[in-house]
């Protein structure tokens, strides 16, 4: 677990040829969209940079991020975990357990102060002093703050760490809180999704490992290379949207033809993720390709922006089952009725009034009160 060992040292020890190594560098550079010199940069970095120590902690979560991560195909997760990074601690997949495992945390903190990456899956609940998530006998929030204090940067894996996800959905009884609201003094990369795409996860790690810096982030703290466009922008069903061809019912002919799922509540137009380009499970498919709309799982508070199967979000402040259109129609009906009644009362008052009669009292006196 020596951090002075480079990625190149490790793979050569594993019997991978120089030829295959350069192939990997070219592929990785291409997948990250780097220029012509990208491959040699990747090779240079992997040959000389010490492997980045990574601590992977788990708060309130369902482990779907880990499940996704281990399915990465480009690069293979085994290459990432065993070769590219030095995954010093991940209680879900590490061999050590109990006090041995806990000791690694302290060791990494001291040995690689300010140099390790803290990857967090899940988030800390803050209610009742964090008692809703106990990890190693202590509230998770305490351990998180402790490990974050000496880290180089924090990766917030998934919707939980980035936004709060299901445990932070209304009414959020445990006060589950996203990482960036708890750790405010470290650079944080949000890699949202429930879970995030495997290749996006390993891609982020590869980038940090290769360039020794964090990828360019957007306003929300998400890596631009994977989260700068919406599902809708790169959706292969987009032509049907522009044409006005929609699925109207789940079992209709249009669904069979693969028309746009916009009317079925697809959140593709408001969701930033790489599903429509990278896809899932080694590029096999993604929700829309499988005939189901996007539920917007990589967006802030997506559980509270439902229903998943309607275009307009429910507005809870206006009571059960209200959305912008229903609120608007009720308000319009109210105002229209108000106008009608007001007009009727006005008209009734006019009955018998002769036109040309002085409309007001002495006007010259009254004008002074106005402008």
Should residue 30 be labelled a site residue for other proteins when binding is judged by CB under 8 A?
A: no
Should residue 361 be labelled a site residue for other proteins when binding is judged by CB under 8 A?
A: yes
Should residue 346 be labelled a site residue for other proteins when binding is judged by CB under 8 A?
A: yes
Task: Kindly report the length of the chain.
Answer: 371
Confirm whether residue 160 is marked as ligand binding: yes
Should residue 239 be labelled a site residue for other proteins when binding is judged by CB under 8 A?
A: yes
Should residue 35 be labelled a site residue for other proteins when binding is judged by CB under 8 A?
A: no
Confirm whether residue 64 is marked as ligand binding: no
Q: How far is Cα 238 from Cα 227, in angstroms, rounded to an integer?
A: 18
Token pair 């429930």 in the structure block, residue: 194
Should residue 254 be labelled a site residue for other proteins when binding is judged by CB under 8 A?
A: yes
Minimal distance, residue 269 CB to other proteins, in Å: 8
Q: 195: closest CA among 341, 367, 61, 24? A: 61
Q: 162: closest CA among 59, 54, 268? A: 59
> Could you report how far apart the first and last alpha carbons of the chain are, in Å?
82
Q: Residue 15, exposed/middle/buried by CB under 10 A (0-12, 13-18, 19+)?
A: exposed
Should residue 335 be labelled a site residue for other proteins when binding is judged by CB under 8 A?
A: yes
Should residue 345 be labelled a site residue for other proteins when binding is judged by CB under 8 A?
A: yes
Q: How far is Cα 352 from Cα 92, in angstroms, rounded to an integer?
A: 87
Confirm whether residue 133 is marked as ligand binding: no
Per CB under 8 A, the list member of 62, 217, 305, 308 interacting with other proteins is: 305
179-238 residues in contact with other proteins (CB under 8 A) are 218-220, 224, 228-230, 233
Should residue 310 be labelled a site residue for other proteins when binding is judged by CB under 8 A?
A: no
Spatial contact of 89 and 105, defined as CB atoms under 8 Å apart: yes
By C-beta, is 97 or 358 nearer to other proteins? 358
Q: 274: closest CA among 322, 231, 239? A: 231
Q: How far is Cα 155 from Cα 222, in angstroms, rounded to an integer?
A: 10
Should residue 363 be labelled a site residue for other proteins when binding is judged by CB under 8 A?
A: yes
Q: Which stretch binds other proteins (CB under 8 A): 129-137, 204-212, 269-277, 278-286?
A: 269-277
Per CB under 8 A, the list member of 324, 337, 341, 344 interacting with other proteins is: 324
Minimal distance, residue 212 CB to other proteins, in Å: 25
Token pair 């209680």 in the structure block, residue: 91
Which helix (H) or strand (E) element contains residue 53?
strand 52-58
Structure tokens at 26: 């070219």
DSSP conformation class of 112:
T
Q: How far is CA 362 from CA 18, 151, 287, in A?
A: 101, 80, 74
Minimal distance, residue 332 CB to other proteins, in Å: 6
Should residue 99 be labelled a site residue for other proteins when binding is judged by CB under 8 A?
A: no
Name every residue whose Cβ is closer than 8 Å to that of residue 112 and which is 6 or more positions away in sequence. 3, 53
Rg from Cα positions in the chain: 29
Token pair 């402790």 in the structure block, residue: 146
Should residue 344 be labelled a site residue for other proteins when binding is judged by CB under 8 A?
A: no
By C-beta, is 98 or 370 nearer to other proteins? 370
Confirm whether residue 260 is marked as ligand binding: yes
Minimal distance, residue 257 CB to other proteins, in Å: 9
Q: How many residues bind other proteins (CB under 8 A)?
A: 68
Minimal distance, residue 266 CB to other proteins, in Å: 11
> Which phi and psi angles does 237 have, rounded to 5°?
-95, 5
Per CB under 8 A, the list member of 15, 33, 171, 359 interacting with other proteins is: 359
Minimal distance, residue 317 CB to other proteins, in Å: 11
Structure tokens at 192: 């949202």
Structure tokens at 329: 């129609």
Sign of the Cα pseudo-torsion (314, 317, 318, 320, in order): positive
- Binding residues for [3Fe-4S] cluster, by number, are 275, 294, 297
Interface residues with other proteins (CB under 8 A)? 163, 218-220, 224, 228-230, 233, 239-248, 254, 259, 262-263, 267, 269-272, 296, 299-302, 305, 311-313, 315, 323-325, 327-328, 331-332, 335-336, 339, 342-343, 345-346, 349-350, 355-356, 358-364, 366-367, 369-371
Which residues belong to the annotated binding site for [4Fe-4S] cluster? 62, 65, 160, 194, 232, 235, 260, 266
């Amino acid at each position: 677990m020596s951090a002075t060992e480079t990625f190149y040292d490790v793979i050569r020890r594993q019997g991978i040829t120089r030829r295959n190594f350069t192939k990997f560098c070219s592929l990785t550079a291409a997948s990250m969209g780097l220029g012509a010199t990208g491959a040699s940069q990747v090779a240079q970095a992997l040959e000389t940079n010490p492997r980045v120590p990574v601590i992977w902690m788990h708060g309130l979560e369902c482990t779907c991020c880990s499940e996704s991560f281990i399915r990465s195909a480009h690069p293979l997760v085994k290459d990432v975990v065993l070769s590219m990074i030095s995954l010093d601690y991940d209680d879900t997949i590490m061999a050590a357990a109990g006090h041995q495992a806990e000791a690694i945390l302290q060791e990494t903190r001291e040995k690689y102060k300010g140099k390790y990456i803290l990857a967090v899956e899940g988030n800390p609940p803050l209610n009742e002093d964090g008692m809703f998530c106990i990890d190693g006998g202590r509230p998770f929030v305490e351990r998180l703050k402790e490990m974050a204090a000496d880290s180089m940067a924090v990766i917030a894996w998934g919707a939980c760490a980035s936004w709060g996800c299901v445990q932070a959905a209304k009414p959020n009884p445990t006060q589950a809180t996203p990482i960036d609201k708890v750790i405010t003094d470290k650079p944080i990369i949000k890699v949202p999704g429930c879970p995030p795409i495997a290749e996006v996860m390993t891609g982020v790690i590869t980038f940090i490992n290769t360039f020794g810096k964090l990828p360019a982030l957007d306003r929300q703290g998400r890596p631009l290379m994977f989260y700068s466009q919406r599902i809708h922008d790169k959706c292969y069903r987009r032509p049907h949207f522009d044409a006005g061809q929609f699925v109207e019912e789940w079992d209709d002919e249009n669904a069979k033809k693969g028309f746009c799922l916009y009317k079925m509540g697809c959140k593709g137009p408001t969701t930033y993720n790489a599903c429509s380009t990278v896809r899932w499970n080694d590029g096999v498919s993604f929700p829309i390709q499988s005939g189901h709309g996007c539920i917007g799982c990589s967006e802030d508070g997506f559980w509270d922006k439902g229903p998943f199967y309607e275009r307009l979000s429910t507005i809870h402040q206006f009571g059960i089952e209200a959305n912008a259109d229903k609120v608007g129609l009720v308000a319009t009906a109210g105002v229209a009725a108000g106008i009608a009644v007001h007009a009727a009362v006005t008209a009734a008052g006019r009955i018998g009034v002769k036109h040309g009669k002085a409309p007001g009292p002495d006007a010259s006196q009254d004008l002074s009160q106005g402008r």
